Structure 1
Amino acid sequence: MARSGLGLPWDGQAVTAPRVSIVVRTKDRPDFLSRALLSVTAQAYESWEAIVVNDGGDRAAVAAVIDAVGQPDHRERIRVIDHAESRGRWVSANAGVLASTGEFLVLHDDDDSWHPQFLARATEYLDHHPERQGVVSRIEIIWERAEHGRFVEESREEFQAQLSAPLLSDTLLFNRFVPIGFLYRRSLHAELGLYDDTLPVVGDWDFNLKVLARGPLEYLADEPLAYWHQRRGATGNAANSVAGARSDHSAYDARIREEALRRWVAQNGAGLVLYLTKFIDQRFVDVENGIRAEVAASSLWRRISRRIRRR
């Protein structure tokens, strides 16, 4: 089989079953991992493999969770990569990608879950749309809390419900879909490279920008089939990465934008961005001054009205 420099089969080449590779990153969260594997094994679609990347966590705990998977056939389709020490979430993602064999890939974080029809619907879509590089499910945020050793759901809300499609123009501002909702062709990595493992966070946003710059994506359906679990105020192992590493998200968001700006300036010169920087800043100043003038005029009118009433 022809292979790329990343060890990934080129698109169009025959691939062996299973068709879907599911990468699950985890570290010392056996309760979450157990729920994630229940989400995987509950899928109506059966042609899958799961690669659990244990990023420096307790190996025995991970093994116990996998041993507890009910059906032997399911257990046989779960492989484990153990890191001796924590190497980071995007190094772990890449380890799973490089170990995968499926035509399609998806990252299933250990604290998220799917509707049982997610893989069936997503693979069906990609089979019927060979021109598409992947497909995004609508995503529902599930707010939950830990209580007496189990997770209790508090509420649900759809993530980015106002969007008609996962567009590059929207994603330039911030990430509009998280890994649990994105099934894509594994061959994308041969073209775009692996996840940037120098980023401790926002590696998915960085990859999504590259994917959307290559071509458009669509939503799979109107109803959410992917569930992004979050816990308000949670710390330590129970925290979601977005909330638990908020300062890192801000710092590496800025780094990605700065590097993209440098590439633009190197290729096109600084003229346009210099002009736009001043133009946009001046427009903000004009708007601020206009608001202040309206407030001052309104305040003056109120003072005049009060004096008239006193007379």
Structure 2
Amino acid sequence: MTESPVVGIVTRTKNRPVLLKRAVESVLFQTYRNWEMVIVNDGGDPAPVETLVARYADDARGRIRIIHNPASLGMEGASKVGLAALDSELLVVHDDDDSWAPEFLVVTVAELRRMHAVYPTVHGVTTYAHRVLERIQGNLVEIESIAPFNDWVPPGFLSLDRMLMANFIPPISFLFTRAAYEGVGGVYEPIPYLGDWDFLVRFLSKYEIVMVPQLLAFYHWRTGAETGAMGNSIIGELDRHRFYRQMLLNEWLRRDLAAGRFGVGAYANLRSHLGTLIDQSEHLVGLAEEAREGAEHDDAGRKPVDPRAAEPRTNGVKPAGR
């Protein structure tokens, strides 16, 4: 890996200039300067994108290009177009509604170079991300709350086992090598959602990813009633995520069955069922805890009873211990 590798940044957008403005500024404010950015306008109106990028022409110094797709290719298709337009050594997908701390690139590039030199199988690094809940008010973005999204993940090598249960790494926080991108076969296009999960599973099946224990990425979710261009795939379309999640699990399992092996498909399906059981058990524990606290609250509000005044109600059954 070269001393100061070029980072290729892909931004997918469609008719969201108020969000795209923040994404462009997020890149321009990076303290690491050796980058180039490709904005893939996926079937949206070209004029606002051209106007916005022209406004930052002096700061960008020719490092931002725009590709206009005449018709929308979807998230994964747009990613493929943008990544194919870059020949940089390192790559990252910076969606138009997400953002970085100014130190994101300088920290992740340095850590990827350092870890790859020691462990050649390391081809990606990620950082912890903030989850930002926001709503759009006209041309303004109103922040409602910011909280850690995945700081429960241990620093160091990511767990392939845990990734097979569900994705916990948003694209905005993941920097990876072009060699690994090509080595795993690129993005998965047939589905409009969860292609990032499929990509990370294939990535971790072959290469290592290291978690840098710093909160340097911002994963933005819209909480209002935004629809259409301003919608958010996480908040507004959870049912579709569940739909395509099961599609992926089925496809992975079919590959295992066709090959006569116990592989990613079988393991991911078992891990998914285990996760469901864990969620259900935690829910039941929570209900039991609420019931216990409610009982204690009721008992605390009652007038104390003199134990000499009445015997415990046993319904004819002798209490244990007596």
Question: Residue 232 of structure 1 is aligned with which of 193, 201, 223?
Answer: 223
Question: Residue 82 of structure 1 is aligned with which of 68, 89, 104?
Answer: 68
1:46 matched to 2:33? The reply is yes
Post-superposition offset of 1:305: 4.3
Count how many residue pairs are aligned between Structure 1 and Structure 2: 271
Q: Is the 8 A contact 1:18 1:101 kept in 2?
A: no
CA 1:65/1:18 → structure 2, altered by over 3 Å: closer, same or farther?
A: farther
Q: In structure 2, how many angstroms separate the alpha carbons of the residues matched to 1:18 and 1:84?
A: 32
Please list, as runs of the form range in 1=range in 2, the aligned pairs for 1:125-164 lying within 5 A after superposition.
125-130=111-116, 131=120, 132-164=122-154
Question: Residue 190 of structure 1 is aligned with which of 182, 185, 189?
Answer: 182
Please list, as runs of the form range in 1=range in 2, the aligned pairs for 1:86-97 lying within 5 A after superposition.
86-97=72-83
Q: In structure 2, how many angstroms separate the alpha carbons of the residues matched to 1:83 and 1:149?
A: 25
Q: Is the 8 A contact 1:19 1:48 kept in 2?
A: yes
User: Which region of structure 1 is more displaced relative to structure 2, 175-184 or 255-264?
Assistant: 255-264
Listed one character per residue, the Cα deviations across residues 199-249 of structure 1 (whole Å, up to 9, x for unaligned) are 1000000000011111332212x2310000111133222222122322221
CA 1:306/1:235 → structure 2, altered by over 3 Å: closer, same or farther?
A: farther
Q: In structure 2, how many angstroms separate the alpha carbons of the residues matched to 1:89 and 1:249?
A: 13
Q: In structure 2, how many angstroms separate the alpha carbons of the residues matched to 1:84 and 1:251?
A: 28
Q: In structure 2, how many angstroms separate the alpha carbons of the residues matched to 1:63 and 1:56?
A: 14
User: Which region of structure 1 is more displaced relative to structure 2, 81-90 or 228-237?
Assistant: 228-237
Q: In structure 2, how many angstroms separate the alpha carbons of the residues matched to 1:83 and 1:215?
A: 32
Q: In structure 2, the residue corresponding to 1:169 is in which secondary structure?
A: helix
Question: Residue 42 of structure 2 is aligned with which of 32, 52, 55?
Answer: 55
Q: In structure 2, the residue corresponding to 1:155 is in which secondary structure?
A: strand
Question: Residue 52 of structure 2 is aligned with which of 65, 68, 71?
Answer: 65
Q: Is the 8 A contact 2:184 2:206 kept in 1?
A: no
- In the alignment, which residue of structure 2 is the partner of 1:101? 87
- Greater strand share, structure number: 2
Please list, as runs of the form range in 1=range in 2, the aligned pairs for 1:184-223 lying within 5 A after superposition.
184-220=176-212, 222-223=213-214
- In the alignment, which residue of structure 2 is the partner of 1:30? 17
Q: In structure 2, the residue corresponding to 1:217 is in which secondary structure?
A: strand
**Unaligned 5+ runs, structure 2:** 289-311, 318-322
Post-superposition offset of 1:269: 6.0
Listed one character per residue, the Cα deviations across residues 6-38 of structure 1 (whole Å, up to 9, x for unaligned) are xxxxxx7x89x8710000000000111111000
Question: Residue 256 of structure 1 is aligned with which of 248, 256, 261?
Answer: 248
Q: Is the 8 A contact 2:41 2:69 kept in 1?
A: yes
Q: In structure 2, the residue corresponding to 1:33 is in which secondary structure?
A: helix
Q: In structure 1, how many angstroms separate the alpha carbons of the residues matched to 2:233 and 2:201?
A: 19
Q: TM-score scaled by structure 2?
A: 0.77
Identity between Structure 1 and Structure 2 (%): 33
Q: TM-score scaled by structure 1?
A: 0.80
Q: In structure 1, how many angstroms separate the alpha carbons of the residues matched to 2:71 and 2:162?
A: 37
CA RMSD of aligned residues (A): 2.8
Q: In structure 2, how many angstroms separate the alpha carbons of the residues matched to 1:216 and 1:47?
A: 24
Post-superposition offset of 1:264: 1.5
CA 1:148/1:80 → structure 2, altered by over 3 Å: closer, same or farther?
A: closer
Post-superposition offset of 1:306: 5.8
- In the alignment, which residue of structure 2 is the partner of 1:124? 110
Q: In structure 1, the residue corresponding to 2:315 is in which secondary structure?
A: helix
1:19 matched to 2:6? The reply is yes
Letter of the 2:137 counterpart: E
Q: Is the 8 A contact 1:39 1:115 kept in 2?
A: yes
Q: In structure 2, how many angstroms separate the alpha carbons of the residues matched to 1:226 and 1:79?
A: 23
Q: In structure 1, how many angstroms separate the alpha carbons of the residues matched to 2:11 and 2:61?
A: 14
**Unaligned 5+ runs, structure 1:** 1-11, 296-303
